[in-house]
């Protein structure tokens, strides 16, 4: 259960704010609001599994902030941990809300709740704060919000090209540079990869970009990524790729289609928040085996402590640790079992 989402309802439950039984409501970085008694709302969520869950509950959820100004009576925000991205969402909230509307935010204390509340105060000038479920809730009116600051925050979280030429943006995995695990995988991937290649959990497309540049036998790249903002960067990074590329905003555990000669992956080991979830990487392994050709290969990099070996041996006939160093391991698995 997302405690910040529960805490978001605290000012409504206690009567400090009226339930929004009429007017338009927008929920940014949406999650399911258990006990919501207000009107329906427009939902924005960039993480596909959560977007699907929210969409099933409320009927509609999109990854992009509405292209609207001053149209919502209420804008509710569950700020993400990445502060630059959070600030951008607060700025969008101020732009979306009517001048006489209300912005309400909630975040866990261990997810920067006090900082997010301070940012909202800086943007709006005045807010009311409360605490519930170890979360910080803040709300206020955008009637005199700092429009210049809002524009600055949105720009700061937007796409930027790093010194290494990779496009990225705030909140995307390893936004400041190539992470050590990916770097290790890139060093071990053979130039002889060929055929149709899928990247599970493609992020900003760094692995796929490397393959497009160095593996002449690859005929097509298919990128699957659950975070829409990362996938947008992958599109930029592969815009000049010499081979066809497909981009899928998708939950790898449920939405992969087709057959591949090679699957590459630096799988995530947490869905949302900080808690580790090794089962997610194990599911990536099983899905890879199900969608590889009989002689297909999986190239995987992971933290050394993650318990993937059992899933690999269940799913593949041959499993080889190609390299183990610096707390990471690169594994090649061939001969998927079906």
Q: Is the pLDDT of residue 276 over 60?
A: no
| Residue 272 confidence (pLDDT) above 80 | no
Q: Which pLDDT score, from 0 to 100, does residue 275 have? A: 47
Mean pLDDT of 212-240: 97
Q: Do 3-156 and 160-336 agree at the fold level?
A: yes
The full length of the chain comes to 338
pLDDT confidence bin for 1, thresholds 50/70/90? low
- DSSP code per residue over 186-210: HHH--TT-EEEEEEET-TTSHHHHH
Helix 228-237 × helix 206-214 angle, to 10°: 20
Which tens digit of pLDDT belongs to each residue from 139-162?
999 999 999 999 999 999 999 999
pLDDT digits 0-9 by tens, 303-338: 988 889 999 999 999 999 999 987 999 999 999 997
- What are the DSSP calls for 172-186, one per residue? STTTTS--HHHHHHH
pLDDT at 64: 96
Output the pLDDT for position 177. Answer: 87
> Given the DSSP bridges, would you call strands 72-77 and 97-108 parallel, antiparallel or unpaired?
parallel
Over residues 19-35, the mean pLDDT reads 95
Q: Is residue 278 scored above 90 in pLDDT? A: no
Q: What is the 3-state secondary structure (H, E, C) of 116-128?
A: HHHHHHHHHCCCE
pLDDT at residue 208 greater than cutoff 50: yes
8-state DSSP, 34 = T
Q: Cα 128 to the chain's mean position, in Å?
A: 30
d(CA 315, CA 292): 11
Is 81 strand, coil or helix? coil
pLDDT in tens, 65-84: 999 999 999 999 999 999 99
Task: Quote the tokens at residue 258.
Answer: 């087709």
Predicted pLDDT of residue 175: 86
Looking at 3.40.50.920, 3.40.50.150, 3.40.50.1370, 3.40.718.10, the CATH number of the domain 160-336 comes to: 3.40.50.150
Using pLDDT thresholds of 50, 70 and 90, give the confidence band for residue 269. low
Average pLDDT, the chain: 94
First to last CA, the chain: 35
Q: Quick one: CA dihedral 58, 64, 70, 74, positive or negative?
A: positive
Q: What is the DSSP string of 213-227?
A: HH-TEEEEEEEEESB
Helix H or strand E segment including 282: helix 278-291
- Cβ–Cβ < 8 Å for 61, 1: no
Q: Summarize the confidence of residues 205-229 as an average pLDDT.
A: 97
* Fold classification of 3-156 (topology level): Rossmann fold (3.40.50)
Average pLDDT over residues 112-127: 97
Q: Name the least confident of 15-19, 55-59, 85-89, 140-144.
A: 55-59
Q: Which residue has the tokens 């207000």?
A: 38
Report domain extents, the chain. Answer: 3-156, 160-336
- The residue-averaged pLDDT of 8-21 equals 96
Per-residue pLDDT, averaged over 274-299, amounts to 89
Cα–Cα distance between 276 and 41 in angstroms, integer? 31
Helix (H) or strand (E) holding 253: helix 252-255
Measure the CA–CA gap between 269 and 260, rounded to whole angstroms: 23
User: Which residues partner with 111 through β-bridges?
Assistant: none
Examine the pLDDT at 270 and tell me if it is beyond 60: no
């Amino acid at each position: 259960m997302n405690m910040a989402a529960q805490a978001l309802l605290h000012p409504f439950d206690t009567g400090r704010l009226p339930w929004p039984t009429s007017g338009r409501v927008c929920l940014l970085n949406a999650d399911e609001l258990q006990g919501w008694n207000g009107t329906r709302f427009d939902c924005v969520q960039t993480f596909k599994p959560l977007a699907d869950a929210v969409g099933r509950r409320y009927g509609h959820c999109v990854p992009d902030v509405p292209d609207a100004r001053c149209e919502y009576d209420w804008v509710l925000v569950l700020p993400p941990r990445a502060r630059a991205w959070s600030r951008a969402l607060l700025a969008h909230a101020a732009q979306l809300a009517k001048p006489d509307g209300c912005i309400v935010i909630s975040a866990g204390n261990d997810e920067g709740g006090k900082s997010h509340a301070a940012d909202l105060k800086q943007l709006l000038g005045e807010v009311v704060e409360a605490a519930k479920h170890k979360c910080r809730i803040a709300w206020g009116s955008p009637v005199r919000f700092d429009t210049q600051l809002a524009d600055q925050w949105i720009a700061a979280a937007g796409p930027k090209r790093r010194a290494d030429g990779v496009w990225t943006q705030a909140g995307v995995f390893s936004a400041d540079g190539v992470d050590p695990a990916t770097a290790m995988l890139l060093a071990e991937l053979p130039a002889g990869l060929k055929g149709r290649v899928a990247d599970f959990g493609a992020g900003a497309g760094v692995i796929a970009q490397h393959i497009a540049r160095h593996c002449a036998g690859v005929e097509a790249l298919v990128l699957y990524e659950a975070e829409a903002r990362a996938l947008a960067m992958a599109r930029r990074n592969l815009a000049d790729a010499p081979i066809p590329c497909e981009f899928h905003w998708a939950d790898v555990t449920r939405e992969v289609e087709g057959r591949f000669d090679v699957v590459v992956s630096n799988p995530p080991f947490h869905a949302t928040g900080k808690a580790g979830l090794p089962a997610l990487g194990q599911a990536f392994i099983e899905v890879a085996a199900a969608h590889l050709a009989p002689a297909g290969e999986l190239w995987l990099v992971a933290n050394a402590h993650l318990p993937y070996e059992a899933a690999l041996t269940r799913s593949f006939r041959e499993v080889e640790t190609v390299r183990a160093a610096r707390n990471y391991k690169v594994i090649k698995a061939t001969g998927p079992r079906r």
